[in-house]
Structure 1
């Protein structure tokens, strides 16, 4: 070991703030040209936020319009292709999630989250499009016993793992709940300090 290397014991003895500072220095030293500039990151962030606000502004009147104009009963075309196609997409995402989990890849986070959301959608549409009686009972049981619990596992598990990775690497304060944790982008922090929690 050369004189400039840190041992595991020295790293463990560091305070949380010292670890964050070390991580920021390492990030800045290895960023190179592959990382976008802080100006680019901030510009992209602002455009995406503006896009989300426009979507919200358009979606609200659209929902009101649909609620007032759609018929209560509608015969759908390509019903089989719709549901089989949906299940094929869900199957593909489940397979990818299993592969990413088995190989311990970061893509597990978005694929598992997407699977969870699709399972919630599947439960929602199965229940709401079922006729009263045996079909409705089957849809409710499937939703309550299979789809919604699996969705919870697929959404909550990766979110907990994401939080653990951020805490373990000293990027965020471990006392904060996930919904309050900032995105760790050292170049955007004033004076090299972590953003306020």
Structure 2
């Protein structure tokens, strides 16, 4: 409903702007004296400065909130270039305005728009686990291959003991199902995804039993992993943390909390840098659920 209303508003605005633009083209004078000229331009540049500063701060932290701000900054730069050139067309500074527009303002606007697009596309793709995903997870070969990533095919074959052709076939299947991608230099890397649990009620018969068994096995593995972590907690040194709390939230607030968590994970999971000796692989979990009514936590 909201999407339909928004699209209607956008389409309606586009239609209404046609006669309005024609009207302005026939009624506006070529020259117009106005006050507050200095205030208007200084205020515009102050707003542009704030957009640059805030966008840089958000962009460095890979916050998705930077996307609309970078887009707005790009639009403001294009407006700045347009009015600088048009309003200074008959002045002695015309060529300076044109040079700034062509070589500074418009290129920077394009770079900001591309940066916004990159931040927008860097979010982890979200989808629900399918029966095909369950099938891949049940095949130990795919687990062996994905554990060795990032690596080239030959290196994965050497580490896992699988034949090269078998590894190549596994990688192709994983790529076709959105789990891995091939980098420019030929190595394979995992694709971070936000995989949602399937609902057994969405399936019938044997498929429903298979989904239920998958979820049972998943949570059994989670319990086993947490039990192992509790037994070895003194061995992790500074590389472990455990926190819990209880709070009351509306469903909307809960969804906001979940979205912020996924944004945080995406920000740290998709950083573009080479692995270093100081890094460690960490298992991260996020669970939230209503406790038993009689529980005291």
**TM-aligned CA deviation for residue 67 of structure 1:** 0.4
Partner residue in 1 for 2:61: 103
Q: Hey, what does 1:178 align to over in structure 2?
A: none
| Bigger proportion of residues as strand | 2
Q: Which position in structure 1 is the counterpart of 2:125?
A: 169
TM-superposed CA distance for 1:141, in Å, is 1.1
> For residues 133 and 67 of structure 1, do their structure 2 counterparts lie closer, same or farther at Cα, with a shift above 3 Å needed?
closer
Please show how residues 50-65 of structure 1 align to structure 2 within 5 Å: 50-65=8-23
1:97, CA displacement in angstroms? 0.2
Give 3-state SS (helix, strand or coil) of 1:114's partner. helix
The residue that corresponds to 2:93 in the other structure is 135
The answer to whether residue 29 in structure 2 is matched with residue 71 in structure 1 is yes
1:150 to 90, 103, 108: 108
User: 1:21-44: CA deviations, max 9, x gaps?
Assistant: xxxxxxxxxxxxxxxxxxxxxx11
> 1:170 deviation in Å?
5.8
**2:78 corresponds to which of 102, 117, 120:** 120
CA distance in 2, matches of 1:133, 1:50: 42
Rg comparison, structure with higher value: 2
Q: Distance in 2 between matches of 1:158 and 1:56?
A: 24
Who is 2:6 aligned against?
48
Distance of 1:57 and 1:156 partners within structure 2:
28
Q: Deviations over 1:53-97 (max 9, x none)?
A: 221222111000000111111112211111111111111111110
Q: Distance in 1 between matches of 2:56 and 2:109?
A: 14
Q: Which one has a larger percent helix, Structure 1 or Structure 2?
A: 1
Pick from 36, 46, 58: which aligns with 1:88? Answer: 46
Gaps of 5+ in 1: 1-42, 175-185, 192-197
**Following TM superposition, by how much is the alpha carbon of 1:115 offset from its aligned partner in structure 2, in angstroms?**
0.5
Quick check: 2:51–2:69 contact (8 Å CA) kept in 1?
yes
Output the TM-score relative to the length of structure 1.
0.61
Which consecutive unaligned segments of at least 5 residues does structure 2 have?
128-176, 179-195, 197-201, 203-297
In 2, Cα distance between the equivalents of 1:77 and 1:121?
A: 20
| Structure 1 segments of 4+ aligned residues over 3 angstroms from their partners | 131-134
Q: What is the alpha-carbon distance in structure 1 between the residues aligned to residue 40 and residue 33 of structure 2? A: 13
Deviation at 1:134, TM superposition (A): 3.3
Q: CA deviation at 1:45?
A: 0.9
Of structures 1 and 2, the one with the larger relative CO (CA 8 A, separation 6+) is 1
User: Secondary structure of 2:93's partner?
Assistant: helix
Residues paired across the two proteins, number: 132
Residue in 2 that maps onto 1:24: none
